[in-house]
Amino acid sequence: MSNGVFTVAAIVGISLILTRLVAHRVRVPTTTLLVLCGVAAGILLPTLPEVDLDPHLVLSVFLPPLIYHHAAFGSAPREIRADLGPILVLGVGLTAVTTTVVGFVAWALLSGVGVGLALALGAALAPTAAVPTCALLRRHRAPARVITILEGESLVNEGVALVLFALALEWNNDRSHVLNDLVSSAGELAGGALLGLAIAWLLIRLRRRITDPGTLILISLATPFIAHHTGELLHASGPVATAAAGIYAATRTGPDLHTPGRVTERLTWRVLVFLLGGTLAVLLGIQLRDLPEPGVVVLIASAAIILVVIACRVAWSLLAAPAARWIPGGSPAAGHLPRTARLTVALGATQGPLALAIALALPSAVAERDAVLTIVAIAALFSGLVQIPALTLLVRRLFPAVPGPPQHEEVLARTAVSDAAIRHLDEAAEDDRFDRQVLALQRAALRVDRVLVRDADQRRALHRELIQTEREELMRLYRAGEISSETLHSLTHELDLQDPDASRAPEP
């Protein structure tokens, strides 16, 4: 048994490494490639043991970090607040509609699937993954509002879909208390949001009293589990509490961590999320080997459900989006999205790790679980192999990439930051804390930076080459015996912090 576990772990590790090497070249979402790796491993290694992932493990260990990372590091609170109307119309309204319509289609086409399980399938396919689409849109300089709405919708629909999934499972087990469950779920949503905000407020106050970067990062990693499990313990929505904690953290953290801690925290989270989401994708791919070969009915149902999901998004985005102007809290222009932007939002949603996690969270005892897993896997593969390439062609047509200097907003920000630093130098010159020659040199460097602000890309590339040259010289001095290993590591660490790539690690 232990050998089988180690074998599966090795397959997961190899798949993750290969995917990182290949994904950015083939422009296919990592989730799709990882599912294919799992399928290939299951076919090529017939002696591989059967994988049976505990649903409770998925919900309590895998999901909280995935939700929190998206909320804390992938959300833009001010922009989301301005476009709150469209985000809620999509994140809440469209998620509920997709869950209901997909559930009805699945119930009608799959004879052995009950209403509860059909709705659970709808809840699994309703949430969206914005990362691959937004990366594509950023490369082509699409309107920022489109990216904000896609990211905000993805953030909201995660919590809504998980609540609908829990309701669907309750329906599948016992239909007599569905109305009571709906009422209690509304209370759980509100309670989860308030609880998540309170937990994040307390933990951020704690972070401000701590200066050790390692301890700060540990608190950050523990936050989603504290929020989720406290929510479950108090009968509130754990996923919503986790998302609320992440959103609050996004508005309050940043300057509290000094540079080494901030860079390390982001990199740690990116690696952790890639490991968790990638593991789920590979395990689902391996599980497909042990499922019965899908019959014609399941394949037809898969195609129909994929088309229904797309049709729901297109219809809702084009027809219901104007209703966003009546939702309080957003900007007056929230409902006035151009038709091309609405079409991009409609076609820009793909299936990601959360859909796989929800499917794997179905209890093994649920009848027709195999059919649900098969349909979700087919939908995930369709997203990566068909939908993303088609979206790429559409985006190239709507938003042709135009190479050029940095956008006006970035130039404005860099200039303002440089001016603030120069003003601080002028204030520092009034006391005797720093040598005047040091202040003059620093002021000259800042003025040079301001002049070169429009050539930021070239300056960054040159800076990268200079740092690499300094690293090589340090290594030469160490090998020649002129400096100790302690000096080597200390100065190398300083150079690493100056590296412009240090905080630009690719997204998982």
CA angle 120, 41, 66 (to 5 degrees): 45
pLDDT digits over 398-441, tens only?
776 555 444 666 667 667 777 777 777 777 777 777 777 777 77
Q: At what angle do helices 144-173 and 353-360 cross, to 10 degrees?
A: 10
Q: What is the pLDDT of residue 43?
A: 84
pLDDT digits over 7-29, tens only?
888 999 999 999 888 877 777 78
Whole-structure pTM value: 0.77
pLDDT digits over 233-276, tens only?
998 888 889 988 998 888 775 555 555 567 778 888 989 999 99
CA angle 267, 17, 385 (to 5 degrees): 100
Q: End-to-end CA distance of the chain: give it in Å, rounded.
A: 31
Spatial distance between the Cα atoms of 99 and 87, rounded to a whole number of angstroms: 17
Q: What share of the chain is helix, strand, coil (3-state, %, to 5)?
A: 80, 0, 20
Confidence of residue 308 (pLDDT cuts 50, 70, 90): very high
Average pLDDT, the chain: 80
> Domain locations in the chain?
2-398, 408-498
**Amino acid identity for residue 356 in this structure:** L
Q: What is the pLDDT of residue 451?
A: 60
Q: Please, are residues 23 and 35 in contact by the beta-carbon 8 Å criterion?
A: no
**Amino acid identity for residue 470 in this structure:** E
Residues 6+ apart with CB under 8 A from 398: 142, 340, 344
Class of domain 2-398: mainly alpha
Six-digit token string for 483: 């400096």
Six-digit token string for 269: 């989270």
pLDDT above 80 for 229: yes
pLDDT digits over 58-115, tens only?
888 988 998 898 888 876 777 777 777 888 888 888 999 999 999 999 999 988 788 8
Q: Please, are residues 231 and 162 in contact by the beta-carbon 8 Å criterion?
A: no
Q: What is the pLDDT of residue 506?
A: 47
Please tell me the least confidently modeled range out of 39-48, 292-301, 326-335.
Answer: 326-335
How far, CA to CA in Å, does 109 sit from each of 104, 114, 372, 402? 9, 11, 12, 47
Spatial distance between the Cα atoms of 316 and 342, rounded to a whole number of angstroms: 10
DSSP secondary structure string for all residues of 179-241:
HHHHHHHHHHHHHHHHHHHHHHHHHHHHHTT---HHHHHHHHHHHHHHHHHHHHHTTS-HHHH
Six-digit token string for 56: 């409770």
Q: What is the pLDDT of residue 399?
A: 74
pLDDT digits over 130-179, tens only?
778 887 887 777 777 888 888 888 888 888 888 888 888 877 766 656 55
The predicted model gives 291-306 an average pLDDT of: 85
Sign of the C-alpha dihedral computed for residues 315, 319, 323 and 325 taken in this order: positive
Q: Please, are residues 380 and 35 in contact by the beta-carbon 8 Å criterion?
A: yes
Q: At what angle do helices 238-252 and 178-207 cross, to 10 degrees?
A: 30
Question: 398: which DSSP letter?
Answer: H
How far, CA to CA in Å, does 412 sit from each of 388, 409, 416, 454? 33, 5, 6, 10
**398-402 contacts at long range (C-beta below 8 A, 24 or more positions apart):** 398/142, 398/340, 398/344, 399/137, 399/140, 399/141, 399/142, 399/143, 400/140, 401/139, 401/140, 401/141, 402/141
Six-digit token string for 62: 């895998």
Six-digit token string for 322: 């104007």
Question: 406: which DSSP letter?
Answer: P
In the block, tokens 């990366």 appear at 135
Six-digit token string for 383: 């997203």
Spatial distance between the Cα atoms of 499 and 494, rounded to a whole number of angstroms: 9
pLDDT digits over 24-64, tens only?
777 778 888 888 898 888 888 888 887 777 888 888 898 89
Q: Please report, to the nearest 10 degrees, the dihedral formed by the alpha carbons of residues 339, 344, 350, 352 taken in order.
A: -110
Spatial distance between the Cα atoms of 283 and 308, rounded to a whole number of angstroms: 27
Six-digit token string for 257: 């961590």
